[in-house]
Amino acid sequence: MRIGELARRAGTTTRALRYYESRGLLPARRGGNGYRAYDEEDLRLLRQIRVLRDFGFELEETRPFVECLRAGHPEGDSCPASLEVYRAKLAELDAMVARLTEVREEVAGQLARAEAARDALAGAGGGEPRCELVRTDG
């Protein structure tokens, strides 16, 4: 199949396919007419890349999965290098979740302090704080 059909079937663009080719992720085969020629195996490689990219993997992180498929394995994640990428991605995600949890706790603490201050002001007869801008320069 030609590049346009492969792009359509893979749900991507011809520009992306050329980029993948330049990065060595997609084989660069040419037919007798000089046009790029692709087959179902290339579509399979692209689908693997697409799934991983949708999960947040960087393009270079897809390389072990693609190489695993190109080596003839039934799944892109059945090789040790692919499993190592999974482990690294999980560690990265765990760190991100931990950091987001910390930030969430900080924001919740700030909200609780702000609400307590507002309630204390209201309880002291100050009413609701004024939230509009007041011009102070005459």
pLDDT digits 0-9 by tens, 46-77: 999 999 999 999 999 999 999 999 999 999 99
Alpha carbons 69 and 90: distance in angstroms, whole number: 22
Residue ranges of domains in the chain: 3-125
4-37 exposure pattern, b = at least 16 Cβ within 10 A, e = fewer: eebbeebebeeebbeebbeeebbeeeeeeeeebb
pLDDT digits (tens, 9 = 90+) for 70-79: 999 999 999 9
pLDDT in the model for residue 131? 64
Percent pLDDT > 90 in the chain is 77
Q: Domain 3-125 adopts which CATH fold?
A: Multidrug-efflux Transporter Regulator; Chain: A; Domain 2 (1.10.1660)
CA-to-CA distance for 138 and 117, rounded, in angstroms? 30
Instruction: Give tens-digit pLDDT for 85-102.
Output: 999 999 999 999 999 999
Angle at 69 between CA 67 and CA 74, to 5 degrees: 150
